[in-house]
Amino acid sequence: MDPSLSASDIASSTKPLSEASSPPVMDLLSEPASEASSAPMVDLLMEPASEGSSAPMVDILSEPASEASSAPMLDLFMEPASEASSGPMMNLLMEPASDDLKEPPKPDIDPLADILNDTPLSEVKTPVAAMPQETPSDLFDDEPSELFAEPRQSNTAKQQQTSIFDEPDEDLFSEPLGEASKKPQNDFFKEALAPVAKASNVCGPLSDNYNEHPTDIFTEEAMTTLPSAVSTVSVNSKTNGVHSDEEEPDIFAEATVELSLDSPRNDRKKKEAAKPSASAPAPSVSASASKPQPKTLEELEEEVEDKFELNISITNPEKVGDGMNAYMAYKVSTQTTLPMFRSKTFTVRRRFSDFLGLYEKLSDKHTPNGYIVPPPPEKSIMGMTKVKVGKEDNSSAEFVERRRAALERYLQRVVFHPSLLQDPDVREFLERDDMPRAHNTQALSGAGFLKMINRATDSLSKMTIKMNESDVWFEEKLQEVEAEDQQLRKLHIMVDSLVGHRKELSVNTGGFAKSVAMLGSSEDNTALSRALSQLAEVEDKMEQLHQEQAASDSFCFAELLADYIRLLGSVRASFDQRMKTWQRWQDAQNMLQKKRETEAKLLWANKPDKLQQAKDDITEWEAKVTQYERDFDRVSATVRKEVLRFEKEKACDFKKQIIKYLESLLQSQQQLIKYWEAFLPEAKAIA
Amino acid sequence: MMEEAREGSLSVSAQTIRVTEAVRDGDALTFIVISQKLSGSGEYHVARTHEDFQWLQQCLFSQEVVPGILGVIFPPLPAKPQLNAPAKVLKQLGFLAMGEDWRMYCMALETYLQQVAAHTTLSKNKCLENFLTSSEPPGRQRVRKGIFNRLSQAMEGMRKEGHKDVDDFFQTERDNNLTLTGCSKSATERFIDVVLTEQKLAVACGHFSTALHLCVEQEEDSAVLAFSNGSVPMIKNYRPLHALICVKLSEVIDSIKRNFESVAENNLSTLGLGLDLESRCQEAEKEMLYRRTCKLVELETASRNAERAKPVKKAAMDELKVAAEKEFDHVSGVAKQEIARFHSTHVELLRQALILWCEKQLETARDTSFRYSQHLQAFKGLGE
């Protein structure tokens, strides 16, 4: 460790770099952590990892702390949080950091770490004095937060610079991962670079929307962490995750060269060219990264959004059984080119409770991580009872159709969610022929479901008061979401009344048609009589038209609004989740504080026998605080990403539905014109 | 007949009579009646209340000097408009109470005056000339209860309406009239329901549109504006896009609202008014036929009395019978002409209403269709 020397040397040269760094980097960095563990739940895996290897880290961390009466140490630790208050992404950075901790600091990291850590120091007014002495892990923690804070403030960053900067970061983080498995450095290097370069490229122009891209990367990653992840996808994620410390020399060697690069491809080539100069021992991760298939960020996004070949339709609602045990079964047909499925087209039969069961499973798994899990339509005892009783009237047919459409939209929302699509339960739901019966869906259905959401919102609002929101974005978003919920409810009522009036109009038009027909039949004048009966026919058709329009109003708007009212419930739940993890973190911090006070008392009282226990406690709780904070940051990032995704989907959805609605309006209007045009000569023919 | 000669013909042209507006004066409505002079240019502008119209109608009814006046189908005068009246009373007026500022009612009055002025017999009445031209309101003191007291008519009607007619022509006409009155009345009512629902829809759309607009907060308006102008390169920020969708949808709903408004307005001003007039005219014919039936009953009673009369009274009874016979013949004669005239005007009236209605609706439908397609284009280009 020769931090002071190398740091001072390089500090000046790295400074501009740090300014150029852009947010996407962060995400990329964070990925490796989850990647390496390749667990379904990043959380769970991470924990053992950090705990298992916690010894060195803890020692490093705690030692200076205890020596310096623990205060500065805490500060350093807290720093990132406060620094990055503007960006929830911090956590991402923290993860890699923990990985690093697993590993005893290597000599070749050190200079880099120093460089990196130096930059923040000079940039931001952190407690500089403490920093140099700190262990690499601390440096790391600090530095990421720096990166995050930086790009936000200055979006003028140059992408080339960014990319340079990215790489070192990744390397640092990946190094620990590298231990897991060894790999030809070339491949992984290539892969690692491409996305990064792209990412930086992409984010350049769109500095405002930097969230988008990281988001996608993250999504991809998330998928791959699932056990069910398909190899092709995982390759991509791996590429992101794979990093080496090779870059280190590159940064310095190529700093000037990189600046002139603009296309990611060039970038990559150069990188490759530069690679030989990289240090030989390149421990890399991912055994599965052998496929050299570097997908750029843009490509990844496209793949998710455009090339996404997955069509799901629900058809043939069919009543199964009799009496009160009867239920509706729906045919769920999937058509896909995704390799994760066994075949290109397949069909299964599912009943309503299966859909609820799917939601329950997904919600259990993904809601705690801050994901917005699309909720299924509510159970309707009224509607279903009618169907069960076997009344084959209009309203029950309408109910079935309405539910079929709602289920279809629900399922489509699930599979269009890149993370949820990767869930084995989703695949099972779509593919498996003999689905085990879902149990206890009752609690989730109908009023109970609504109540649950309401309760969640209530507790949420209570917690909001307590929570000293560190991020304005969340505060504003939550308010937006709540305001929107109110608005949608209001709109829903209005659309309902509109639909009611349309139906009334249809009925009245029908009545008018009948009375005109009567009038026509009792009229003496043959021409007038004829015209009147024609008119009656026209009005009959109009009745039909109004009825269709009412259905269209109802399907396009009322259902859409109902969907989004439900979805907003899920959005709130994800905010709620974030709040919970925050609460847990805060509690842990309080606990840590108490433990420290105990230690201080023991020290003062000079009771060495209990001191060790107290120290152990502190170590344990420090780890927990770190863990919980990381959790919170991760959930925050997920929520943020999910909300943005939700807003995007919502805008697209509304646009799509409104276009559909307008088309139906236009069509019925044109039909109307035809009717009138046909009737006009009849009226004129009256002699 | 001297009187008839003295009255002469009307000095204004029947087609030019207009009731332009209803001026509200306290609890009463005053209607402005405008008509063009036949001789030379110039217009008569007079202000008349509904009581004045009633007076005119009474004058027309009570022209006892005109033989067979009871056989005339009097143009129906709309019932008295009630200001601040409960909804139930307004409902009886039907279409006439709808529309803004009693416009429908004015149109109905206009039609009434035109019909009276166009009527060969009625137009000769001096009262009409007076009504249309005199700047002073005509004598309201003359309004009295005529023979057409609605209450007594209703009671007697029970007895006499079913009275078997001696003339097959009138019997058929009475039967037809009865069904047509019922049918046109119910058609009018149904049509009112349609229009009312359309108006409700327009209001609901208005609320919806406003609510949508309120969804977009003030500060977002500027962002939306900037975005729709293309001055903000907003590719990935969906909040303004969402706001823009709200604003645009609000415009769409507003178009739907305007469509309903004009459809309802078209319905009101053409077919609605036509059906209303049709049903009131059928009612007027029914009244005339009823009056003739009354005369028939009178005549039958007279001839029965004459048959049974003792020789002493025979002469007097015969005289009565002859008088009744003469009057009945007059009434029947006039009635036959009136019915023929009525049939042609009623067909023409409905024809006009239907054509006008169809044309207006067609126009509205085309306008709306155009607007919808514009909205559709706008939406398709949104966010791209």
Residue type, B193: D
Looking at the DSSP bridge assignments, the partners of residue B317 are: none
Contact across the interface for B365 and A676, Cβ inside 8 Å: yes
pLDDT at residue A244 in the model: 39
Instruction: List, in order, residues 6 or more apart from A25 with CB less than 8 Å away.
Output: A147, A162, A165, A166, A169, A170, A196, A199, A200
Sequence length of chain A is 687
Contact across the interface for A515 and B376, Cβ inside 8 Å: no
Give the C-alpha separation, B161 to A585, whole Å.
92
Top residue of B178, B276, B369 to mutate, by most chain A CBs within 10 Å, is B369
**What's the pLDDT tens digit per position in B205-234?**
999 888 888 877 654 555 555 555 544 444
Contact across the interface for B236 and A209, Cβ inside 8 Å: yes
pLDDT at residue A462 in the model: 53
Q: Is B26's pLDDT higher than 80?
A: no
Of B235, B343, B379, the CB nearest to A209: B235
Instruction: List, in order, residues 6 or more apart from A191 with CB less than 8 Å away.
Output: A235, A238, A239, A242, A289, A292, A293, A294
Residues of B in contact with A480 (CB under 8 A): 239
CB pairs under 8 A between A and B: 157
pLDDT greater at residue B193 or residue A27: B193
Contact across the interface for A490 and B211, Cβ inside 8 Å: yes
Top residue of A640, A662, A674 to mutate, by most chain B CBs within 10 Å, is A662
Q: H helices within chain B, ranges in order?
A: 2-7, 50-61, 87-93, 103-118, 126-133, 150-160, 168-215, 218-229, 238-267, 273-308, 311-380
Give the C-alpha separation, A643 to A26, whole Å.
19
Contacts of residues B181-186 at CB distance under 8 Å and 24 or more positions apart, as own/partner, are B181/B279, B181/B282, B181/B283, B181/B286, B183/A515, B183/A518, B183/A519, B183/A522, B184/A519, B184/B275, B184/B278, B184/B279, B184/B282, B185/B279, B185/B282, B186/A515, B186/A518
**What's the pLDDT tens digit per position in A632-670?**
888 888 888 888 888 888 888 888 888 888 898 899 999
Residues of B in contact with A654 (CB under 8 A): 242, 245, 249
Looking at the DSSP bridge assignments, the partners of residue B24 are: B29
Distance from A82 to chain B by nearest Cα, in Å?
Answer: 26
Phi-psi region of A449 (alpha: psi -120 to 50; beta: other; left: phi over 0): alpha
pLDDT at residue B255 in the model: 92
User: CA gyration radius for chain A?
Assistant: 31
Phi, psi (rounded to 5 degrees) for A320: -115, 130
Most confident among A275-289, B92-106, B161-175, B365-379 (mean pLDDT):
B365-379
Q: Does A685 touch chain B (CB under 8 A)?
A: no
User: Which token pair is B2?
Assistant: 């001297």
Kindly report which listed range (A65-79, A348-362, B96-110, B127-141) carries the lowest average pLDDT score: A65-79
pLDDT at residue B224 in the model: 54
On whether ipTM exceeds 0.90, the answer is no
Contact across the interface for A519 and B184, Cβ inside 8 Å: yes
Sequence length of chain B is 384
**What's the pLDDT tens digit per position in B256-287?**
999 999 999 999 888 888 988 888 899 888 88
Contact across the interface for A662 and B375, Cβ inside 8 Å: yes
Kindly report which listed range (A208-212, A568-572, B320-324, B364-368) carries the lowest average pLDDT score: A208-212
Top residue of B245, B267, B282, B285 to mutate, by most chain A CBs within 10 Å, is B245
Q: Is B31's pLDDT higher than 60?
A: yes
Instruction: List, in order, residues 6 or more apart from A386 with CB less than 8 Å away.
Output: A393, A395, A396, A399
Looking at the DSSP bridge assignments, the partners of residue A476 are: none
Report chain A (687 residues): mean pLDDT per 10 consecutive residues: 42 41 40 38 38 39 39 40 39 40 42 42 39 40 40 40 41 40 42 41 38 39 38 37 39 38 42 41 39 40 52 83 78 82 82 85 83 83 68 73 86 85 83 67 50 57 56 79 85 88 92 92 87 91 89 83 88 85 87 88 82 86 89 88 86 86 90 91 84
Phi, psi (rounded to 5 degrees) for B46: -130, 155
pLDDT at residue B9 in the model: 65
What's the average model confidence in pLDDT over B327-337? 89
- Among residues A417, A431, A371, the alpha carbon closest in space to that of A220 is found at A417
Residue type, B363: E
